Amino acid sequence: MRKKLVLAAAVLVAIAGPIGAQEPETKEIVATLSQFGEAWKKADPAAVAAFFDEKATLTTISGQTTSGRPAIQAALTQVLTGPLKGTLFSTTADGIRVLKPGVAVQSDLFLFRSGASAQAGAGRGISHSLIVWVKRDAGWKMTAVQGMVPAKPVE
């Protein structure tokens, strides 16, 4: 039995890497998400688009796909002046997993709350998003974002 437990632990370490080895990169991504939220709060499409890789793809919960940072910036301009105008961005940021150095995947809830009611918890939008992150010279960038409707409402 003990041999099986040691073997199972060895397999987990081989797959996930040493405990804590991914922590610095995860912290960097969380910091990047915080900066993303600040750019979102300012409703600056160019600043928000800068968090996307040059050839990134963004697929919305309605299935519309936009490719390339310039096209994503144009889409963000419409969203930030339209349905999500005046919203604040937040995420649970607990579903980040580093796949290898410089590449990570995130599967988390993303919330867009009205600025005036953000403290009260009233929301304007929510999605479950899957993001592929790549580390570039300029820091972590989103290279693929897939928005999905959450399976159950968030309380």
Domains of the chain, each with CATH number or no CATH: 45-155 (3.10.450.50)
Neighbouring-strand partners of residue 125:
112
Alpha-carbon distance of 147 to 83, in angstroms, equals 16
pLDDT tens string 137-152:
989 999 999 998 876 6
Q: Which amino acid is at 70?
A: P
Contact 72, 80 (CB under 8 A): no
Residue 62, phi then psi, degrees to nearest 5:
-85, -5
What is the per-residue pLDDT across 66-91, written as a single tens digit (0 to 9) for each? 999 999 999 999 989 888 888 888 88
| pTM beyond 0.85, yes or no | no
17 CB-side CA count, 13 A: 10
Mean pLDDT of the chain: 80
pLDDT band at 154 (very low <50, low <70, confident <90, very high): low
Question: Residue 155: what pLDDT?
Answer: 55
Residue with tokens 């649970």: 92
Q: Please name which of 130, 135, 138, 137 lies closest in space to residue 24, comparing C-alpha atoms.
A: 135
